[in-house]
Amino acid sequence: MNSDLTERPDGQGVIWVLSGSPGAGKSSVSRSLLARFPFGLHLPIDDLRELVVSGIAHPAPDHPPEAARQFALARTAAAQTARLYAQAGFAVAIDDVLWPADLAFMARHWEGLEVRPVRLFTTLEVAHERNRTRTNKTYDTSLLAPLIDGLYPQMPPGIYREAGWAVVDSSALTLEATVDALLRLEWTA
């Protein structure tokens, strides 16, 4: 753990926003990244959504309105919680399958805070292999294979770069090397 990572003049923490397709490593990278800070909070949007006890609407290719509403609620809850913790000096990582417009929706809650959006990128083959070997889901992850295939062409790194996101290709990187790459990124405050 490196205490230099949180030494900001205002005492506030940084909000990291990690996006990528399923299998890109968002959750693993978020947890390993936050372990490098004295105080870290991980806010996976999927975990917030799964707190719904009755009436949960799962994502589907036809984007059901209730699923969209529940994603908006989870993202708003994550954004507000991130603000609270960042203002208290925590590094925060939010992970979800996000597009640049989704960041704008969430960032309205973060005025005056440092936000670091990162698009984690892998080859399609690596995303499928990571999905096949993951252990952090309570369901059969083979169900995500069609979603990975569908999202991959919709999330080209270029649209993220154009919107000011950092893009890190972790296809050939270990988890620790990916975190090192994130921490070496240059950010403008």
pLDDT at position 186 is 87
Instruction: Report the run of H or E that residue 157 belongs to, with start and end.
Output: helix 157-162
Determine the average pLDDT of the residues in 41-54. Answer: 94
d(CA 81, CA 92): 9
pLDDT, one tens digit per residue, over 145-158 is 777 788 888 899 99
Residue where the block lists tokens 């999330």: 155
Percent of the chain with pLDDT over 70: 88
pTM of the model: 0.88
Are the CB atoms for 176 and 32 separated by under 8 Å?
yes
Q: Which domains does the chain have, with CATH numbers?
A: 3-184 (3.40.50.300)
Give the lowest-confidence range in 56-65, 69-78, 86-95. 56-65
Residue predicted with more confidence, 43 or 142 = 43
Mean pLDDT of the 94-113 span:
93
Q: Which of 14-23, 32-41, 127-136, 158-167 comes out lowest in average pLDDT?
A: 127-136
What's the CA angle centered on 109, arms 107 and 113, to 5 degrees? 75
Neighbouring-strand partners of residue 138: none
Instruction: Count CB-CB contacts under 10 A for residue 144.
Output: 20
Q: What is the DSSP letter of 64?
A: -
